[in-house]
Structure 1
């Protein structure tokens, strides 16, 4: 089993990044160690040694995906000052979510989100709930501080998050960026 009490080795970090690229291209649902190891220049035995188990590898991959998500959220928070409000934050977030370059990451996110709901005790545990909290936090930062902690403000950011997530799922399913963008804009500019 991998020793998690020390910083990861360079090989651990390298293989995690390569595996992360692999799952962004192939998905997490049917992840098999043999094809993964072959494509990234390793072996199933090395992956098991470094990550402890397949579930340990999945947890590490989800943590890596969450790093990307948190970096995005920090960038969005910095780009949308509080006076800009929720509509500006929603526009900025939708622009990022609907960018075709981010599709592989978002498909992986959706897979992990769904698995977290149907397998709450597996390696996906808490992924969905954690990501909701992350997104609500960035949306709260776009609201004026005097309103941020009110039930109405929480309801507004929850509603915006629901619209963005629903439009994202629709976009990933259909590829219809024009229609989903129009729907998001209609919500943001009633």
Structure 2
């Protein structure tokens, strides 16, 4: 916790959840405190008091988004047969293509890009951490040692297909690309 950030409180947690829902609907790239505060039934002053600064609020929102993303990806991996890399990739892709997850994924892309272009701001380290998170989920299964090339290749295919899907909306083509990769590693579609 920074020197300006306040300790957790029930009101802070409540506003963080409401702000997270707002960010899912409106994005984080151009977050402005006045519209956010109005949408969550608060004021910019209260948000600044509870979070310390706009940057700290963004960091809290990124942490909240990361927690959601990791929980969802862990559940997808477990549902897909947790000890098989191909099954984990297929299950993760199944989760990624679900239209219900688009807002979270768009928020993820915004944060990832800002982390790369503003490495010293509130986005600092987000891109690197999310790569490590995803490698941690894919690594160590079916020969894909943590950070190993099998897990990295699976991650690269998933991320590339995800960006393609978000840009074009072409689920069929992006899914075909993921399935082609899986067939190359010996896991044909079921």
Output the TM-score relative to the length of structure 2.
0.90
Aligned residues: 180
Higher helix share: 1
CA–CA distance in 2 between the matches of 1:76 and 1:35?
34
- Detail structure 1 runs of 4+ shifted over 2 Å in the superposition: 1-4, 76-81, 141-144
Structure with more relative contact order (C-alpha pairs < 8 Å, separation 6 or more): 1
Which runs of no fewer than 5 residues in structure 2 stay unpaired? 185-190
Aligned twin of 2:188: none
1:37 corresponds in structure 2 to: 37
Q: Is the 8 A contact 1:81 1:142 kept in 2?
A: yes
- Distance in 2 of aligned mates of 1:177 and 1:73: 19
Alpha-carbon RMSD across the aligned residues, in angstroms, is 1.5
3-state SS of the aligned residue for 1:64? helix
Match of 1:101 in 2: 100
Which residues in structure 2 correspond to 1:84-163 (within 5 Å)? 85-144=84-143, 148=145, 154-163=148-157
Q: Distance in 1 between matches of 2:118 and 2:142?
A: 34
Rounded to whole Å, the distance in 2 between the matches of 1:142 and 1:122 is 35
Q: Are the counterparts in 1 of residues 24 and 104 from structure 2 also a CA contact under 8 Å? A: yes
